[in-house]
Amino acid sequence: MDVTFKIRRYNPEIPGKDKPYWQEYVLKDVEPTNRVLEMLHRVKWEQDGTLSFRRSCSSGICGSDAMRINGRNRLACKLLIRDVGAKIQVEPILGLPVIKDLIVDMEPFFDHYRSVMPFYVNNDPLPADGRERLQTADDRAIFDDTTNCILCACCTTSCPSFWANGKYVGPAAIVQAHRFIFDSRDQAAKDRIDILAEPDGVWRCRTVYNCTPACPRGISVTRAIGEVKLAIMRGSPKGIINPKDIPTHE
Amino acid sequence: MQTHQFDAVIIGAGGAGLMAARYAVLGGAKVAVISKLYPSRSHTGAALGGIGAALGNLEEDKPLWHAYDTVKGGDYLTDQDAAMVLAEEAIDAVVELEHMGLPFDRTPEGRISQRRFGGHTSNFGEKPVRRACHSADRTGHMILQTLYQQCIKDDVKFFDEYHVVDLIMNNGKVAGVIAVQLGTGELHVFHAKALMFATGGWGRVWQISSNAHTLTGDGAAVLFRRGIPMQDMEFFQFHPTGLYGLGVLLTEGIRGEGGVLINGKGERFMEKYAPNIKDLASRDVVSRSIYLEVRAGNGVKGKNYVYLDIRPETVNRYLAEAGETRRIDDDHVRHALAETLDTCRTYVGVDPLTEPMPIQPTAHYAMGGIPTNVNAEVVLDANWTVLPGLYAAGECACVSAHGANRLGTNSLVDLVVFGRRGGMKMAEYVKQADFVPLPPNPAGEIEAELNRIRNNKGKSRAYELRNEMQQVMMDHVGVFREENGMKSAVESIKELRERYRNDVVIDDHGHKFNTDLMEAWELGCLLDLAQITAESAVARTESRGAHSREDFKDRDDVNWMVHTLATYKGSAAAIAGPINTELNFDKKVNLSLMEQDERFKPKARTY
Ligand SMILES: Cc1cc2nc3c(=O)[nH]c(=O)nc-3n(C[C@H](O)[C@H](O)[C@H](O)COP(=O)(O)OP(=O)(O)OC[C@H]3O[C@@H](n4cnc5c(N)ncnc54)[C@H](O)[C@@H]3O)c2cc1C
Ligand code: SF4
Ligand code: SF4
Ligand code: FES
């Protein structure tokens, strides 16, 4: 089948192209099971090498190729042509400065990420037997969902609160904080809770639910945010989640 | 041009680079990590099944058994001292990852959970053992995240989206690297006392590959051009279970959970090729078996693929047949193989709980690479001469713990064990070493080369050259090889290199995020590595591990218990001219375990 790509372009180096504009490309012999990323490669390789976008793994795990495809944030490598049809509109994700074509400046996103102490803290002496700390399978299950995050920014750049105010840490950073707050071995939950209780923390979330369907890893983003909000209100993550309530994996 | 100065510069932010960075920083060095991708995008994140360590959490296990499997899996080309270091330090390294917060799955006692994996056995090959420590089937993702998180905690300095394109040497000594800042296109000089290359593999040399588009062997190629030898390049692993047509990897963990390979006639064919451990034989063996089945007309629907079946009904039937009590159900598969289910549904619309998965072997892992000793120091020759200040670890390096064929889960071990050793060693080294002065205009050559590619007026588009190379290598330097095919591959690659030098053309002549230019530059690296791979393969007149020849079907321990060293002959340059490779076979395999224990003596490899 033939597929028409309509792509949002911008190149600050070239006069005339230094304002965002749309450009169309037609590809022939496209299979319904081809992936959007492969087809963007075909555009780039066969027709126009100036088209610029990030990508690496091509298997949905590195988080490089978040883009807005037919109005929704997707990873181009995880999306099949048959699921988007023969007319495909591609734009950069929203809310971050565009550098060139589909490439946006990720620094503000990573700054928010780094601001929530996204690392494990445990200052107790190591086990005397030189082995691992123990954790029950139930305690491990509590934060399983949020360990899936690949920092692709699909959630944060689909969030109206983030668009309105770039200082909001955004759902991805909250998901990352959740992963540690609810880890029974971690000891810095209180610090993270304090950070997220700030005005640009979780309370900027108005529970619009854009983020959850945007997540290519199927993380229940809004649920994680809700759990963090509850932890803040109670001043501690303890007892908020009953392992029995955790939905089975999907 | 900006110049930066650091005690130690680490190139690559995958598992190996991050582990090294952490230890170099803890050792007191001023460290920078340069990566062409954001660290969390590195391909370590794609590793699925697990990291091997003889923790013995579920059944008895010992480092010596792990070392044995590693040596045997490597078809005895493995350096036995390196295998022992790997096996012994794996335990401590995995425990350390847990201490850094890595969320391993847990046993009922709350310990790190372990599963079976191809080629890992207890008691010198007796039976499969649960050695692969895992976090669902995204262990690599968890390792990458955890190490990156700890680096953030320790305030490691990162240069993200800086692409290293040349090594700076002065009078034979290491002085630094040159990198393109991708966002601006500017060149930066990094002046350092010590450098570590941790740039990952080059699976993109082949057409069907599990590797990321960015795995183009940059680090290995840059060093090769500057005169560092490449070791054992003929050994490249094809993983048996790539998704048909795409090459996307389906983890060996599927077979670890009980999944079986089935041919077009519905037979579990691994019973024929590896009667003992069947589907869990080591990767080279399983990949070849699939090729043989297809050749015998037993592919599915007459095509070149077979099925991998994890449907509980199938698995339980075979478990019962084998007299095992374990059974699996849908829920178990859903948790243990969440990534697999997602991958199959997304890419081929197959639900592994109700249908078998179509698979074919896919180019996966470089056993060869930059030669190092067990401290990750780069060595230049058969006498193990160290080049002071230069280090390599991870997939781009060749210690050689994996010999002629790497066992599953051993790469992740390699990253943390040798990354850590390298980081410590660098911290020590920079305390007593001085900076080697920068030569005048260190970036001149590479700048000229990048401008040549940017502005060359030719007709060959980079992707066409790349496609041709990938096809040639797939056809002639893949799972099965023979002399004429490989020789024709060498000639084709040389021709492609000519066209690349004279006739390449790109569309983007700009500077900011010029991905067109960088892809074309990466193609140059792939072409260099393809050529030395094919040349090393022609020269090795035996079959061993992943190097399987139809004209020399047997392993030849009399003549070939040696490593191949391929060196670039010509004046060292930022670009490889027509390559004249010199091959040397004086480097003997280390047999230190065998000297104490008969069981490590090379023998026929059966599973
Ligand atoms: C799909 C898949 C599944 C796997 N599963 C397993 C498994 O279960 N168990 C196991 O043990 N192994 C597994 N492996 C193998 C293992 O994941 C890799 O060998 C390992 O992760 C390589 O790590 P690394 O640190 O050497 O390099 P990588 O993680 O590949 O990182 C390379 C780094 O170098 C940087 N870089 C590269 N070139 C340049 C340059 N020119 N300039 C600057 N930076 C550069 C990149 O940005 C990146 O940060 C798997 C591999 C694949 C592909
Ligand atoms: S639920 Fe909250 S974080 Fe998610 S999109 Fe809505 S406002 Fe943003
Ligand atoms: S939560 Fe999901 S959408 Fe958001 S950054 Fe993580 S993986 Fe991406
Ligand atoms: S390319 Fe890695 S997630 Fe799409």
Q: Are residues B456 and B559 in the same domain?
A: yes
Q: Are residues A16 and A124 in the same domain?
A: no
**Strands laid side by side in the B230-231 sheet:** B230-231, B562-569, B580-588
Q: Are residues A97 and A55 in the same domain?
A: yes
Residue type, B255: R
Kindly determine whether residue B145 and residue A147, on different chains, have CB atoms separated by under 8 Å: yes
Secondary structure (H, E, C), A164-202? HCCCCCHHHHHHHHHHHHCCCCCCCHHHHHHHHHCCCCH
Q: By alpha-carbon position, which residue is closest to atom 3 of ligand 1?
A: B47
pLDDT of residue A147: 97
Among B513, B517, B519, the strongest candidate for a mutation testing the A interface, having the largest count of A CBs within 10 A, is: B513
Q: Are residues B327 and B450 in the same domain?
A: no
Q: Are residues A86 and A122 in the same domain?
A: no
Name the helix (H) or strand (E) containing A41.
helix A36-42
Residue B574: pLDDT band with limits 50, 70, 90: confident
Identify the closest residue of chain A to B95 by CA–CA distance. A132
CATH number, domain containing residue A61: 3.10.20.30
Would you say residue A49 lies in a domain?
yes
Q: What is the DSSP letter of A106?
A: -
Partner residue facing A100 (CB), from B92, B506, B512: B512
CATH number, domain containing residue B272: 3.90.700.10
Give the tokens for residue B604: 């026929």
Q: Are residues A41 and A134 in the same domain?
A: no
pLDDT digits (tens, 9 = 90+) for B184-206: 999 999 999 999 999 999 999 99
Give the tokens for residue B62: 């010992």
- Model-wide pTM > 0.90: yes
Q: By alpha-carbon position, which residue is closest to atom 10 of ligand 1?
A: B409
Domain boundary among the residues B299, B334, B363 is at: B363
Would you say residue B377 lies in a domain?
no
Residue type, B143: I
CATH number, domain containing residue B587: 1.20.58.100
Identify the closest residue of chain B to A150 by CA–CA distance. B40
Q: How far apart are CA B135 and CA B34, in angstroms?
A: 28
ipTM confidence score: 0.96
Residue A70 buriedness (CB in 10 A; 0-12 / 13-18 / 19+): middle
SS3 category, B346: helix
Judge whether A50 is closer than 8 Å to chain B, CB to CB: yes
Would you say residue A250 lies in a domain?
no
Q: Are residues B357 and B448 in the same domain?
A: no
Angle ∠(B99,B407,B124) on CA atoms, nearest 5: 95
Average pLDDT, chain B: 95
Domain span at B304: 243-363
pLDDT of residue A249: 44
Among A11, A45, A182, the strongest candidate for a mutation testing the B interface, having the largest count of B CBs within 10 A, is: A45
> How many domains, chain B?
2
Pairing of strands B504-505, B460-461: parallel
Domain boundary among the residues A72, A104, A136 is at: A104
Residue B289 has pLDDT above 50, yes or no: yes
Domain boundary among the residues B363, B392, B423 is at: B363
Cβ contacts (< 8 Å) between B14 and chain A: which residues? none
Domain span at A30: 3-104
Q: Of the candidates B417, B370, B373, B374, which has an alpha carbon nearest to the alpha carbon of residue B395?
A: B370
* DSSP letter for each residue of B155-208: T-EEEETEEEEEEEEETTEEEEEEEEETTT--EEEEEEEEEEE-----GGGSSS
Q: Of the candidates B497, B494, B142, which has an alpha carbon nearest to the alpha carbon of residue B338?
A: B142
Q: What is the DSSP letter of B267?
A: -
Residue B484 and residue B550 in contact, taking contact as beta carbons nearer than 8 Å: no
Sign of CA dihedral A23, A10, A56, B347: negative
Would you say residue B582 lies in a domain?
yes
Residue A32 and residue A81 in contact, taking contact as beta carbons nearer than 8 Å: yes
Q: Are residues A88 and A112 in the same domain?
A: no
Tell me the backbone φ, ψ of residue B9, rounded to 5 degrees: -120, 130
pLDDT digits (tens, 9 = 90+) for B426-438: 999 999 999 999 9
Would you say residue B286 lies in a domain?
yes
Residue type, B223: L
Q: Are residues A85 and A65 in the same domain?
A: yes
Q: Are residues A116 and A53 in the same domain?
A: no
pLDDT of residue B570: 76
Distant-in-sequence, close-in-space partners of B167: CB < 8 Å, separation ≥ 6: B174, B176, B177, B195, B222, B223, B226
Q: Are residues A83 and A115 in the same domain?
A: no
Q: Are residues A135 and A161 in the same domain?
A: yes
Question: Which residue spans within A101-248 are E strands per DSSP?
Answer: 103-104
Q: Is the CB of B163 under 6 A from ligand 1?
A: yes
Q: How far apart are CA B555 and CA B545, in angstroms?
A: 9
Would you say residue B535 lies in a domain?
yes
**Which atom of ligand 3 lies nearest, measured to the CA of A66?**
8
pLDDT of residue A247: 59
Give the tokens for residue B303: 């095509």
Q: For chain A, which residues score pLDDT lower than 70?
A: 247-250
Q: Are residues A74 and A113 in the same domain?
A: no
Residue type, B132: A
Partner residue facing B512 (CB), from A99, A140, A180: A99
| Minimum mean pLDDT range among B276-285, B392-401, B554-563 | B276-285
Angle between helices A221-234 and A189-197 (to 10 degrees): 100
> How many domains, chain A?
2
Residue A250 and residue B341 in contact, taking contact as beta carbons nearer than 8 Å: no
Q: Are residues B449 and B589 in the same domain?
A: yes
Would you say residue B501 lies in a domain?
yes
Of how many residues is chain A composed?
A: 250
Residue B334 buriedness (CB in 10 A; 0-12 / 13-18 / 19+): middle
Would you say residue A193 lies in a domain?
yes
